[in-house]
Structure 1
Amino acid sequence: MASTPAILPETTRGFLFFFPNLLQSIAVLRFWLDIDKTGESVTLGYPTVFGQSDRSRYMSSSVLVEFGGKNSIDPQTSIQVRTEIAQFLPSVELPEAQVDVLDPKRTFWEKATLIQVECNRNKLRERFDRLSRHWFDVAKLADHEIGMTAITELFLLKDVVKYKKAFFRSSNARYDDCLNGNLRLYPSNDEMRKKLKEDYGQMIKSGMFREEPPSFENIMERMRELESRINMGVGLRKNHVEISFHDSLSVEEKSPGNTVLSDFTDKPKVSELGM
């Protein structure tokens, strides 16, 4: 680690030069690398400032980087990655990177189909550690333009289902249900909801959120609504019905043989739809 400052921009190295204590601290930090026996993933562990706190126990101080061929890379989008500390040090030139990442609309459907599998398990998991975040993520994405657009791009759902049936087959999955109007996002099992709520409580306790998070009950109700909306949309699409998004959940006749599914959001219409 002692050589790290040499690869930083000149202004940053100058900044570190004036803060020798910071430089010395960086030099003694201990990182670790663990390469999976298959050679398809690497885990990078890093030191945490939280010690053995509730936060460090819930949020692992490591990053998993996967290189395996099972990971889908399409569709992609490009984003700029900056260090979080940069906003507090505007006079310091810190590194930035332009990175090609998986389009978050696909991530929405990846998580939705993961939830589908969990809701259809014949036997509950023994552990629910770090599982409730998927329900939280889908609920939040659904309220964002990312999720609203993803819901109209059912061809992405179809592709995700095809991909998971090929690489992540499971007797519990029932992936075809995602395409015939029987997607499950709301866990009907009382014990499962109880376990998920406990895990969600641990996530809140860990300090992961910077603002007041929604209640678990709110997330579950959101998932129930979302499940109904997606399944209705899939059913209408299979019958070649046009879907657009308005202010309240209803089905309206635009003209003979042309029905419109309206969402309960007040977002602009999304006219493009594929399957």
Structure 2
Amino acid sequence: MDSVAGKPARERAQLFETSAGQHAPRIDAVIIEKDFWVCWALHRLFDVLQFRPQLIFKGGTSLSKVFNAIERFSEDVDLSLSRRDLGFTNERDPEQANISKQEAKRRIEALVAACQQSVRDKLLPELRQDFATVLGNAGWSLEIDADDPQTLIFAYPRSGLADSAPYIRPAIRLEMGARSDDWPSVDAEIKPYAAEDFPAMFSQPTCRARTLTAERTFWEKATLLHAEYHRPPDKPANERISRHYYDLHCLARNEIAQRALGRADLLERVVQHKRCFFSRAWANYHTATPGTFKLVPPEARIETLRKDYDAMKQMIFGDAPAWDDIMAEIRRIEDRINKR
């Protein structure tokens, strides 16, 4: 991948445009470009800098790039730092048995602060130095997000393609954190779309990353939607929340869902973890269990979610499923969970 990253902007643009012209399903060149830089950043993190023991790759981008389970372009790279490597085990572990909620909260706050410090003092300078060995010192930047000290913004070298596609920002969010769980995981291969179409152009067309399993991500998304069902009317949902319904709809039509449904231990682990690290009284995680699981959103929120979905359709490859079809699949998977 480094050989492509170091090419002149015009040559990169030509590669991405040619790849877009023959890729199936059809993908815009600007997405082919951003996908390349997502994979390149993962390559530098996991293959070159050897952060594999400390980091895990997860979220929607992993469902797309590793498991081919969704046909949605996910612009952000969702990563998690190991709590163990940050020193939060035993008497510092927020999940330690028989500690009060107040003590767990104090430990979580300390964990977040330690993560922010690690991103600022270790990851940022090491990545800057490493990226410069391939990209030089001009035409790109790597900065801490002003709104989230755990996130790095990689403004990758521009080829001019993004100038005609304002809906794609020429920057990648490397979203770190340390509250997530890293079990179970697999060592997985990741390949840019351009390398699928033109492997001969790449001296190293793939990278490997320690990745949260798709079955775990299924339950992460399902419990998120369970919490969304219980969200109070006076607490507006985040933008682009509809993507999680789309993702779960895709997983439900995949053998991933069948495997996940057979893992009651995974569901229990996810619920226990969220009740500790992402506690909200209104989320009702204690009812995220077969018989009382909720996925279908309340009727009052359907139209808002439909509009949110319409706004993100351009990130779906090929023909995007109709919102009503997504809801029908969500109802079916909710029934399957509750009948187990």
Secondary structure in 2 matching 1:136: helix
Please give the TM-score of this superposition, normalised by the length of structure 1.
0.68
Cα distance between partner residues in 2 of 1:157 and 1:195: 28
| Deviation digits for residues 15-53 of structure 1 (CA, Å, limit 9, x no counterpart) | 94xx78538997763334225788543232335833374
SS at match of 1:135: helix
Deviations 1:189-241 (Å, cap 9, x if unpaired)? 32x1111100100111xx212211111001111111111110111xxxxxxxx
In structure 2, the partner of 1:55 is 167
Larger mean Cα displacement after TM superposition, 43-52 or 153-162? 43-52
CA distances 1:74-116 after superposition (whole Å, capped 9, x unpaired): 1001111122211232322343212110011100100111111
The answer to whether the aligner puts 1:8 opposite 2:117 as a matched pair is no
Number of the residue aligned with 2:140: 30
Residues 1:142 and 2:252 aligned together: yes
Task: Report how far residue 167 of structure 1 moved.
Answer: 0.5
Q: Distance in 1 between matches of 2:200 and 2:316?
A: 28
Counterpart Cα distance in 2 of 1:88 and 1:100? 25
**Secondary structure of 1:114 counterpart:** helix
Residue of structure 1 in register with 2:179 after alignment? 70
Residue matched to 1:181: 291
Aligned 8 A contact 1:117 1:174 in 2: yes
The answer to whether the Cα contact below 8 Å between 1:83 and 1:94 also exists between their aligned partners in 2 is no
Greater RCO (Cα-Cα under 8 Å, separation 6 or more): 2
Q: Distance in 2 between the 1:226 and 1:125 partners?
A: 26
1:121 aligns with 2:231: yes
Question: Shift of residue 159 of structure 1?
Answer: 0.3
Name stretches of at least 5 consecutive residues in structure 2 with no aligned partner: 15-134
- 1:210 corresponds, among 317, 322, 325, to 317
Return the match for 2:329 from 183, 198, 222. Answer: 222
Secondary structure class of the residue paired with 1:33: strand
CA distance in 1, matches of 2:147, 2:167: 29
Consecutive unaligned residues in structure 1, runs of 5 or more: 1-6, 234-275
Name the residue aligned to 1:109: 219
Q: Which amino acid aligns with 2:2?
A: L
The number of residues matched between the two structures is: 216
Q: What is the alpha-carbon root mean square deviation over aligned residues?
A: 3.1
Greater Rg by CA: 1
Indicate the structure with greater helix content. Answer: 2
For 1:153 and 1:179, the matched residues in 2 are separated by 12
Structure 2 vs 1, CA of residues 202 and 23 (structure 1 numbering), >3 Å: closer, same or farther? closer
**Counterparts in 2 of 1:24 and 1:55: CA distance versus 1, 3 Å:** closer
Residue 201 of structure 2 aligns with which residue? 92
Partner Cα distance (2:327, 2:234) in 1 = 18
Question: Taking structure 1 as reference, are residues 220 and 60 closer, same or farther at Cα in structure 2, changes over 3 Å only?
Answer: farther
SS at match of 1:123: coil
CA–CA distance in structure 1, aligned partners of residues 192 and 320 of structure 2: 24
Aligned partner of residue 217 in structure 1, secondary structure: helix
Secondary structure in 2 aligned to 1:34?
Answer: strand
Distance across 2 between alignment mates of 1:130 and 1:146 = 23
